[in-house]
């Protein structure tokens, strides 16, 4: 069949054997153009406000509460609202995963393979700033990108770590109520989106990925509380990395079971027949997103697999009302670079009293020379590779407290004493570093655009001095 995307021949033979008569429809789906999606950020605004204020043509994505398809010609990644964290651009099928985990405010959540941050930022939106979100990435460069996205989306209760799953498990035994394992995979479901996924594909890589995924899942299991939920996902079609990985995990972890995922438009059941010998009918409770199936139902997306697993409660756990169970009773937040002096805390307190109507909640702590708010429930971080221990507040400079860009992005207009709402043209100029005449009193000013915080400026001498970070300016 003539198509623009040249698939690996071995992959074609494998998929033809697996799909049978369905294979022609699968192949034909590669002739379709890829689709694009974004999620509005509920930490910034309501869905109603989002729909009123974004200038894009949008269509709802059925499997993601905040998700919408958009026309790529509108270039939302170039709009000031993107820099304000008003939305996150993400492949539509990938949005299904975080919704399936079903987190709530107050939960303790781990995103174990989190970069670049799409699923972490989606989980954070569902948590509404309450509870603890630990987002981990093993590769340092990718962990830095993850941290930047956590900051851009205004997440207050997020910690970013750069650890192996094995080391992280040693810090967090049976700690989390919810864990997401969006595992590194062979990427077969992204062939239409990413050319590199095609050139790097091989049967040997599929096998390597499957083994690595099972190792990661084992470490995740060690960190999940009894009664907790673990969602496993990949963006590949390979049964070795999907149904077979789940079956192997359940054999090795008999205290886990599959919790069926509700059906939605575009969802297909997992394939028990691809899992090997034995009774595997429970795999129909897992979900596959196939490009040819989603397109036929008018809700297009790339390939994904999702399984939701629950760990059985022990008898002594049943009836416990505390979300965190008993795992955290003796865990304390400490282990930073040093205790705060009264002077350092007083500078922050003075800044907050003068410039904020509402002070963000959390435990102030120094990380190097920077002051952070550590989320409630975070454990001692001593010895852990941490890129972002919580919300960055700022630092003391020459006897004065200078607030961070992260704090600006986390604030709502009603939390700041001074606000300046930018016009469309002013927002573009602000992102380039421009200053503006100030109609406001002296002090730190939260610069907002269409109701979303965009950064700080300082009002003095009749001018608004731009404090948008120079490294981010356009």
Q: Is 392 a catalytic residue?
A: no
Catalytic residue from among 27, 113, 209, 235: 235
Q: What is the DSSP string of 40-103?
A: E-TTT--HHHHHHH--S-EEE-TT-TTEEEE-GGG-GGGSHHHHTTSEEE--GGGHHHHHHH--
Residue for token pair 């651009």: 89
Alpha carbons within 13 A on the beta-carbon side of 207: 3
Q: Tell me which residue of 159, 153, 121, 176 sits closest to 375, measured CA to CA.
A: 159
Please give the Cα distance from 133 to 107 (Å, whole number): 8
CA angle 147/148/151 to nearest 5° reads 90
Distance of alpha carbon 438 from alpha carbon 418, whole angstroms: 11
Residue 462 Cα to chain centre, angstroms: 40
C-beta neighbour count of 391 within 10 angstroms: 27
CA 313 vs. chain centroid, Å, equals: 27
Q: Are 170 and 183 in contact (CB under 8 A)?
A: no
- Rg of the chain in Å (alpha carbons): 24
| Residue whose token pair is 């036929």 | 296
Q: Which of 222, 189, 224, 238 is nearest to 308 (CA)?
A: 224
Active site residues: 235
């Amino acid at each position: 069949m003539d198509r623009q995307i040249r698939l690996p021949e071995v992959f074609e033979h494998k998929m033809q054997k697996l799909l049978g008569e369905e294979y022609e429809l699968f192949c034909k789906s590669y002739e379709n153009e890829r689709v694009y999606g974004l999620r509005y950020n509920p930490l910034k605004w309501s869905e109603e406000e989002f729909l009123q204020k974004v200038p894009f043509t949008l269509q709802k994505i059925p499997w993601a509460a905040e998700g919408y398809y958009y026309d790529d010609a509108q270039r939302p990644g170039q709009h000031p609202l993107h820099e304000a964290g008003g939305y996150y651009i993400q492949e539509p099928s990938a949005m299904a995963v975080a919704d399936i985990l079903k987190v709530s405010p107050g939960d303790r959540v781990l995103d174990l393979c989190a970069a670049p941050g799409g699923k972490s930022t989606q989980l954070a939106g569902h948590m509404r700033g309450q509870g603890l979100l630990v987002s981990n990435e093993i590769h340092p460069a990718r962990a830095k990108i993850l941290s930047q996205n956590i900051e851009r989306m205004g997440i207050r209760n997020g910690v970013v770590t750069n650890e192996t799953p094995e080391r992280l498990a040693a810090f967090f035994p049976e700690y989390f109520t919810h864990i997401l394992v969006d595992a590194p995979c062979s990427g077969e479901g992204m062939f239409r989106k990413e050319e590199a996924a095609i050139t790097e594909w091989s049967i040997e890589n599929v096998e390597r990925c499957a083994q690595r995924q099972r190792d990661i899942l084992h470490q995740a299991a060690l960190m999940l509380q009894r009664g907790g939920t673990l969602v496993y996902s990949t963006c590949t079609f390979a049964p070795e990395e999907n149904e077979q990985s789940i079956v192997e995990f359940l054999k090795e972890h008999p205290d886990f079971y599959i919790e069926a995922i509700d059906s939605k438009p575009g969802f297909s059941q997992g394939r028990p027949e691809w899992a090997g010998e034995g009774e595997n009918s429970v795999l129909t409770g897992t979900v596959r997103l196939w490009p040819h199936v989603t397109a036929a139902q008018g809700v297009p997306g790339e390939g994904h697999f999702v399984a939701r697993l629950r760990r059985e409660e022990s008898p002594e756990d049943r009836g416990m009302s505390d979300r965190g169970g008993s795992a955290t009773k003796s865990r304390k937040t400490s282990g930073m670079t040093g205790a705060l002096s009264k002077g350092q805390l007083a500078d922050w307190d003075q800044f907050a009293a003068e410039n904020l109507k509402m002070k963000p909640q959390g435990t102030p702590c120094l990380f190097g020379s920077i002051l952070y708010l550590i989320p409630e429930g975070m454990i001692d971080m001593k010895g852990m590779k941490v890129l972002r221990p919580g919300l960055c507040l700022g630092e003391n400079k020459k006897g004065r407290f200078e607030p961070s860009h992260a704090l600006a992005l986390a604030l709502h207009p009603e939390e700041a004493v001074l606000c300046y709402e930018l016009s469309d043209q002013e927002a573009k100029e602000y992102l380039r570093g421009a200053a503006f005449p100030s109609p406001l009193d002296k002090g730190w000013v939260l610069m907002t655009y269409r109701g979303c915080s965009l950064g700080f400026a300082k009002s003095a001498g009749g001018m608004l001095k731009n404090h948008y970070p120079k490294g981010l300016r356009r």
